[in-house]
Amino acid sequence: MDIDISLSPRLSLGISDSAAREGAYPTARLQKGWLLKSGGVDLAEEAVGFGVPVLKQGLRTVFPGDVEIQLVRGGPRWLVTADYEMNLVEKIGRRGKRSIGSGVLYDAKNMLAAHMMAHPAARGPLTAVSSGLRRLFGWETTYEDAGISARVRMRYEFDQHARLLKIDADLGQTASQGLTEVIIMNEQGARHFDRYWDSGGTQLSGKETGFWDEVKAHDATFASSTKRTAFTVHQVPGARLFRGRELIGSRLAWVGFGHSYPPSMRTFGCTVKIEGDS
């Protein structure tokens, strides 16, 4: 099922139940959420879109590879349910060959990512080291079977007039599976959305945004200098809000927010406000 909602003559918001499987970025293998388009051009690039669940098992991250979408009601107040199948993990491999199976490598990779999140000053040097190793060994990112299959139900209500996307996550169909964290991602493409500001007075541009920094302000926004479009999220009690932006060649191009909360919260809700006319 493909759902496409017009926001203006040039700007639209859509969701589909079929992953691209092929594309310019490795994340084409992942199941995406709500994506913005301007003049028919996808603004998401590498990003997963709005309202996408991600599960954490310690340092390991589980992504959705499939989804079943049901349109419950059409506009002007759209109601959509999406059952995401959480069944993929990130791997490293060489083009045309099987991924590397070393658990030690992935433990080191996940620890490196955690260190980068916790220590902003180390991000530049560690990113350079990671990129250098990838070039040296010809490594590429792939997504493969996680060895688990958990289902997360997302309910979306979109007010077409207010341009407000209400997102509700339900872990009721998901066993514990050793989960330590749930993250609801709200992302679009890093080349398009290059400016950040929040209600606390912080204003950032491009690389100043950071890799994965906690937002303390009540609400925060990413905006596009060229597309005249922005999206805003708010703090939610019981969760932590993070912002991030990565733009590395043809490998990474995402910008956005993540609401992180413990799996003991079986249900969770947040909103995304879309502004501009592109």
The per-residue pLDDT for range 13-69, each reduced to its tens digit, is: 999 997 665 667 888 889 999 999 999 889 999 999 999 999 999 988 999 999 999
Specify the pLDDT at position 18: 79
Q: Write down the residue that tokens 């099987």 correspond to.
A: 98
Specify the pLDDT at position 126: 46
Residue 201, token pair as written in the block: 């007075």
Gap between the Cα atoms of 89 and 60, Å rounded:
8
Specify the pLDDT at position 106: 52
Torsion-angle region of 39 (φ positive above 0: left; ψ -120 to 50: alpha; else: beta) = left
- 217 near 200, Cβ under 8 Å? yes
The amino acid at residue 72 is V
11-16 and 164-170 strand pairing: unpaired
Low-confidence ranges of the chain (pLDDT < 70): 19-23, 93-140, 175, 278
Q: Which residues fall within 8 angstroms of residue 256, CB to CB, at 6 or more apart?
A: 47, 185, 186, 187, 188, 193, 222, 231, 243, 244, 245
Gap between the Cα atoms of 88 and 21, Å rounded:
13
Specify the pLDDT at position 87: 94
The residue extents of the domains of the chain are 2-276
Backbone angles phi, psi at 200, to 5 degrees: -85, 0
Specify the pLDDT at position 95: 57
**Domain 2-276, classified CATH 1.10.8, yes or no:** no
Specify the pLDDT at position 136: 42
